[in-house]
Structure formats: C-alpha cells, structure tokens
Amino acid sequence: MRRATLTVLALGLASLAAGCGLVGTDEPGPAEPSAGASASVTSPSPGGSPPPGEVVSVDREWHGARVHLDVPPVESDGDLAVLRYEFGATAADPAEPPSFSTVVLNLGGLGSAATDGRGVRLFDTGEGLVHPVARAPGGNPAAVIDWTEDGALRGSAVAVFAAPANESVDVLLPGFGAVTVPVVPAGEGFQDAVDQVGGVDDAETRPLRAFTRAYDADSATAAEDDDVTVTLASDVLFASDQHTLSAKARGVVDRAAASIREQADDGDVRVEGHTDDVDTDAYNQALSERRAAAVAARLRARLGDGFTVSEEGRGEAEPVAEGTSPQARAANRRVEIGFRGHLVVEASEEGDVPEADVPTARNGPVTIATSGGEYTVEVESMVRGPGAIIGTLTAERTAGAAIDVAWFLPSYLEQIGDRRFGVLGDLAGPHNLSLLGAQERVLPFDYVEQRKSGGFVLRRLLGDEEIKPLNRGERTTITVVWPDTGQDTVTVDGPDRFRITDVPVTDSTVTDSTEE
C-alpha cells in the first residue's frame, strides 16, 4: 500500500494529462449511483474497518473508463464525522494501466480552491449546510488515501468532517455523482481514523447560498441562512450621477416589493446604496444616500403597513468586485435590499423565459458543437431532496481531436450575477448552468470558501467545479445542486451552449429527518 496526504496530491494537479483513460473494476455494477444497493468492502480502509450497514455502490464510465466505488455509512460522535470509501479502476486498454493521479485527485477531498477546487464534501440541503473536509493541525486536509497500482488501481480513503445533524447525509463525489448514506454512531475504530489523518484542528460547516437572476438582469436575489438580499443595478435605476427613479426603475422596485411581500419572514427591510470609486469619497457617500432614499421611499409606498424600511448609504466602501474595469465598477454601482426570509422561485409555466438560439431537446440528448469538436449532453436524473434538486448530467465527445478546455460551457471569464469562483470556475466549470423559472434564472448553490482582504470573498460551487477535456469516445458525469424550483419538470439551460426542456423531477426515496 501507498499512502498520501491530500496536500501532496494537490501538487500533482498541474502535471495531469487531460482526458486520461481510466476504468472501474471489471465487476458488473449499476449504470448509475444506487442508494440502498449493498456491496461488501473487501480491502481494509485506513483508520480501521468501515461501520456495519448498507454500502452504497457507484459504477461510472468516466473519461473512457469505468470507476467503481463503495461508500459505507458515515460515522459520527456528535462533533466529528468520518467518511470512508473504497475505489477501484482498471484500464480499458491493458497496455495503459490506470494512473493513481486522476481518479484519486477527484476523490481526495482536497477542499481548497487554491489548489484543485474540487473534492469530496458532505452536504445537507435540508439544513442549508455544506461540510468541507476538516483541517488537521498545520492546515492540511484531514484525510488520507491508501492505494495500489499493479495493473489495476485499488484503494481506500478516510476523510473527517464536522458531524452532520441528521440521520443521513449526501456525499458529493466529484466526477462520479452524489449519493445519500446513513449517519451512524461512532464505532471502535473512529478515534483511530481521526488520529490517522493527523487529528483535527478545524471542522466547519458553511451555509449554502441560493442565487437567482432576473432574465432582464435588472435584479438578482441571494439567500444565505435566513438573510435574503435583492440587488438592483444602479445603472438600471438611475441615470449617471442622478438619484431620481425613472419609469422603468419604478417598475423594477415594484417587482422587488412584490418579492419581499412573498418572501419576508418579518417586516424589517434594509436599503443600502453603493457606488463605484469614481469621484471623491464624500461625493460618492452623498450620492449613495440619495439613491438609497429614493428606493426606500418607493418601497414604503408599495409595501404599506406591516413593513418598516430603513435606509443607509455606503458610498464606495463596500465593493463586490475587485479592480477598476468598467465591468467591476458597474457591479459595484448597486442598491441592495435586505430582509429576513426565504427564497421563492416562481414556478408558473406562464413566464417570460427567453428564447435561445442553441441546440434544444425535449428530455433527451442534445448535440453541441464547439471550436474543437462535437459532444452529446443529456440529463440522467433530476432528484428532489429537501429544498434542492440534485442534477446529474452525462456527456460524451463524439468528434474532434483538439484540446477543448471550455467545451461544456463557453469561457466567460465572468459569472452570471458577479459570483466569484476564481479562475477555475471561470474557465472550465458548470457554474452558469441554470434551471429556468418563470421570471428568473436559478443558479446552483454556492458557499464561501474564504474571505479576502477588502471584504471580497472566494466562493465554491456545490457540484463539480471543473469539467475536464474529453478525448473522442470518452464520457463524463457532471453533478450540480440547485435550489428547488418547485417544478414537476425543469428546463436545464447551458447559456450559449444547449437547452434541455421538460425534464421530469423525481422525489428522493430518503426521508428528511428534520420534517415532522
């Protein structure tokens, strides 16, 4: 057996060859993750044997290969949780035995967007939380992997997280999907597993953020914990250096008022005005105050009794975008409306969904062409869990040989709604993959990875964060978790790439233990 801590694995990312061919064990298995399927774990896990109980098995064709995983229940002592999993891979071509690098880097639970941007995570959308891999003393991820490479790659891993609150938890396995496993009391080997990863210095849970943006881009709504923020673009509301609402702007504020009435849990509403960094601090502060006052006055008239609207100008002190580019300054010119509540997505079929001049299919595979080749993309499943829809897509490259980095979605170098995911998400991620509501685009859940100086944050996606290039004939799996739109069928929209309509949403067979 070989053993590696996950920080060592991260160093090998830059040298990975795109599209390495790997396969899973040659044992037959289900074509997709199967909750409740049992399997025996045949090799010892680091940190001791896995707990007894159902083992969820996963078999995936991935980049011209098949990979097999066994995921037993997660153990918890109330503070920490231990996840073990077994994996196996054998090469489709015996002359090219599988490499440890690609499979294990995906499954390593690296937990750092600065290194890899991927990694195994636990998540509970009913609680609105994600559990990144814990940190050992010194800052290393609290996880280890053992493996053998003898013509067939086989191994096992253990990773430590903050303990989930409920009797089951979802496990995100980047590149291979998401599965739901039971959470069981810690067994005899629990402390050995914690010791084996070097102990735990920091185990966090982080709140998930739901995010939507109106089709006309006039407004965006974010909900994190119980805080809802509606952001209105100042360039839509006001003329340059002005604070008087135009007729169009009054309609935008009126729609925001309607959203507040539907989504607010109490009557306290906060309005904040923000400017860019052009002109002096004093001028920008005064302008932000006047703009906040104009929006607040309109809201008071539309919300009526039962709501108290306060206002404040923040000037240029709290930018949301770094730099002085026109795009950054436009993002920083805004009015934010905050309140305690919950996100509601309008699910009516009679909406203003924009037309798209892209390949479109009705609940079936769609063929897309890029500068480098052709691909088929289809939705394998849309599964409704507590407050969320977990989507699994599969894709195959059918033509072309050129390296095609941003094949799944075009390279925007910016995110819809100015969400900040870093270069990896900008170049090769599914971060803009959307479900379409009646009035707005519903983006995947995200959460704060780290907070930077100046108030800027770096976020991570709840889902696959890098869609690797494919060689011809190779397939991959793409998992994304969205806020629940409440729809029985959904439209999955890859902006400027493809659209798949009328995809049925099935209910999870796992009972949410938080519901009565």
pLDDT digits (tens, 9 = 90+) for 140-152: 888 888 877 776 7
- Least confident range from 25-29, 119-123, 291-295, 486-490: namely 25-29
- State the pLDDT confidence band at 92, using cuts at 50, 70 and 90: low
- Least confident range from 29-43, 166-180, 468-482: namely 29-43
**Bigger pLDDT: 121 vs 117:** 121
In the prediction, which pLDDT does 349 show?
52
Instruction: Tell me what the mean pLDDT of segment 496-512 comes to.
Output: 85
227-341: CATH topology: 60s Ribosomal Protein L30; Chain: A; (3.30.1330)
In the prediction, which pLDDT does 36 show?
30
- State the pLDDT confidence band at 482, using cuts at 50, 70 and 90: very high
Between the ranges 43-47, 322-326, 381-385, where is the mean pLDDT highest? Answer: 381-385
In the prediction, which pLDDT does 203 show?
94
Average pLDDT value for the chain: 82
In the prediction, which pLDDT does 511 show?
44
In the prediction, which pLDDT does 29 show?
34
In the prediction, which pLDDT does 186 show?
96
Is the separation of the CB atoms in 385 and 126 below 8 Å? yes
* Helices and strands in the chain: count of H runs, count of E runs: 8, 29
pLDDT digits (tens, 9 = 90+) for 388-426: 999 999 999 999 989 998 899 987 667 888 788 877 777
Q: Is the pLDDT of residue 457 over 90?
A: no
- Angle (CA) 73 78 83, round 5°: 30
Instruction: Tell me what the mean pLDDT of segment 448-454 comes to.
Output: 75
Q: Among residues of the chain, what percentage have pLDDT more than 90?
A: 54
In the prediction, which pLDDT does 325 show?
86
Closest CA to 140 of 10, 319, 284, 299: 10
In the prediction, which pLDDT does 16 show?
24
Between the ranges 150-164, 314-328, 375-389, where is the mean pLDDT highest? Answer: 375-389
- Least confident range from 19-33, 165-179, 395-409, 468-482: namely 19-33
**Bigger pLDDT: 484 vs 450:** 484
In the prediction, which pLDDT does 41 show?
32
Tokens representing residue 99 in the block: 């490499």
Residue with tokens 């305690």: 340
Is the separation of the CB atoms in 506 and 32 below 8 Å? no
360-507: CATH topology: Immunoglobulin-like (2.60.40)
Topology match between the domains 227-341 and 360-507: no
Q: Is the pLDDT of residue 321 over 90?
A: no
DSSP, collapsed to helix, strand or coil, labels residue 255 as helix
- Least confident range from 100-109, 243-252, 440-449: namely 100-109
Taking residue 414's Cβ as centre, other Cβ atoms within 10 Å add up to 15
pLDDT digits (tens, 9 = 90+) for 338-380: 999 998 887 665 567 889 999 999 999 999 999 899 999 999 9
The DSSP secondary-structure symbol of 324 reads: S
Q: Is the pLDDT of residue 515 over 50?
A: no
- Least confident range from 49-63, 211-225, 459-473: namely 49-63
Helices 247-263, 281-303: inter-axial angle, 10-degree rounding: 60
**Bigger pLDDT: 87 vs 162:** 162
Q: Is the pLDDT of residue 53 over 70?
A: no
DSSP, collapsed to helix, strand or coil, labels residue 340 as strand
Gap between the Cα atoms of 434 and 498, Å rounded: 11
* Cβ-proximal residues to 232 (8 Å cutoff; 6+ apart), any chain: 218, 219, 252, 253, 256, 295, 334, 335, 336, 337
Residue with tokens 């135009």: 246
Is the separation of the CB atoms in 280 and 258 below 8 Å? no
Instruction: Tell me what the mean pLDDT of segment 488-506 comes to.
Output: 96
In the prediction, which pLDDT does 169 show?
97
Gap between the Cα atoms of 72 and 165, Å rounded: 18
Establish how many alpha carbons lie within 13 A of residue 383's alpha carbon, considering only the half-sphere containing its beta carbon. Answer: 21
Report field, pTM of the whole predicted structure over 0.75: yes
Neighbour-count burial for 200-209, b at 16+ CB within 10 Å, e otherwise: beebebbbbb
In the prediction, which pLDDT does 95 show?
65
In the prediction, which pLDDT does 189 show?
92
In the prediction, which pLDDT does 348 show?
60
Instruction: Tell me what the mean pLDDT of segment 35-60 comes to.
Output: 56
Domain residue ranges in the chain: 2-206, 227-341, 360-507
